[in-house]
Chains A and B, each alone.
Chain A
Amino acid sequence: MFKYLFAKEEDIPAGSAAVFFGFSSILWFIVGTGLGSFNAAKLAFPDFVTGIEMLSFGHMRQVHVLAVILGWISMAFAMAMMYITPALGNTKLWSEKLGVWNCLIWNVGLALGLTLLWFGITSGREYSDMIWPIDLAIVFGILLPLAVNVWMTIKTRRTQGIYTTNWFFGAATFMVLIVFTVGNSPEFFQLTGLTEAYLTWWFAHNVLGLWITPVAAAISYYIVPKVTGNPLYSHRIGHLHFWSVVVFYSTPAAHHLMSAPLPEWLKSFASVEGVLILVPAIAFVSNLLLTMSGKWKMFVENVEIKFTITGVLMAIPLNMQGGFQQTRAINWYIHGTGWIVAHAHLALLGFSTFLEAAAVYYGLQTLLRRKLYSLALANFHFWMLLVGFTTYWVSMTIAGLIQGAGKIYEVPYIDVVIAEHPYMIARWVGGTMVFLGNCVWLYNMWMTMRAGTLIPAGRLPHELAYER
């Protein structure tokens, strides 16, 4: 990587930045899920590693969250953008060198920001925990270079139109810049009180709605047609998805604060808009599932499709929950409980992780011109993720319903803690499975790079048979 930092643009092999981003994202996924497993162990067994400030739950929870969001998910996005955007424009990445620098600064900046958080140096705002100097570094050193590379690659494309995936990439890189800058403005400008509280959740909602969800969906708009060979079922439904994300997904931030003394009109508006999230969700899921028509055997046989379609299917419960749990009728019961934790993991560890994992699997094989080292290990990874996640999700959903019942029936809180104990153990087991699966994944991708079957020019990785 370092030898490319000062190399001439034409001396850097195409796809280098994407490969670096791909492996970085897997490493951060291992770090993030490892921390998650460690934190979960502490919730199940509070005296597990105790009395050390740096290893206490309160110092490590936010490190887990941001390692996964900014390390795994966003770096996998960057990886996908760096190989899918040029592929769809029939061109090269605008600047491979910028991409390599971007990857270096991203890794260094994120490691620094997470270390500060680990020491407790925080803004005290959930999801925008990073202190404002780090926020500025993220905007100008990480997100802006990525956005410029994507936009310029789209601009210098050699195709007539722009495919669905690239609308999302181009728009989401723009929107996340706005979201990050505005969402952290309370720290830049000393905004206080309800404005600060609202902007905290405005950020948290929109970074999900305008960055993670649309980019993850955009990846599957590429992977499914590419691997199955079927054209996208409907360009027009893609339009509906895109525009409804921009219009509906950007508005319901206040539904995260239904119990706060915010203006009532804002909460009601957010709640109604929140239900309309079902519009892009249904458009997306139906479009992808209909694209699969005639190729459903690949859901079983092909690793990338298996991951992608599992992620797409998880978008159904995700959005049914997301659309309705924020209405007042349901929110009063489940708000602030483990149900929400389960929902957040359904979005990040379920829906979006499975789509990104497919992008990383597919991208690394294509860019390295190497067939996946081991199908068995990939399947093992898939099932560790799926079973681990499901264990987590089911146990936390049940724990959340118990908490909700405890809340409305005014049960002494310690009885709720006692009742949740078995589910906390199950959550730890599930999270640990995900972590172990990811370690196997890293080995598999490393061996793919070293020892995977070479893919002949003109062939796609999934057209070749596995040798192991």
Chain B
Amino acid sequence: MALTNEHIKQRLIEKFDTQVSSFEEPYGMLTFEAPKDMNLKVLNFLYDDAELKFRFMTDLTAVHYPDQPGRELAVVYHLHNLEDNIRIRFKVFTDINKPDVYTATALFSAANWMERETYDFYGVNFIGHPNLKRILNVDEMDYFPLRKQYPLEDQSRVDKDDEMFGRGGTLGFGTEKTQHGTITEMEKNDVGDEIV
């Protein structure tokens, strides 16, 4: 019998009662959450259970929700049961001031770098990780760049000389010009008029 989302949900509720919550099925994928200190228990159950057999970790990442005090960071696991070919998504939420989550490296070797990446970009501290250091960014970096408080560069900034890239400056590459560039041109013209 192939597994169904409904059945997985029942099994989880039988085992963990009210501790697993927020069951949803966005675009057909069963999604649920658990308290963060339960993450290994849930992952272990999903892995070991003779019926569920979620033994392939497809993906691990984090999402930052600055508007949810106390649960700003979500660590998201995508698991796959290759035999029955069904995927689920499992989330744990954590406080951004104390982003400690147990590591899944003992269960999945694949989690090693994915957790390092998650630490690198979101600062999630995976307790028990064998080598938790930055992986894509430089070691000296002192912030976690994918958090929402770090906006991308403002396209209309003026302190940067990127004339050669078609933005701002006086060369004016047609449509590439920013609003700032246009205003400067207008101001120049105004000044010119006054002199005349």
Tell whether A and B belong to one assembly.
no
B interface residues (Cβ-Cβ under 8 A, vs A): none
A interface residues (Cβ-Cβ under 8 A, vs B): none
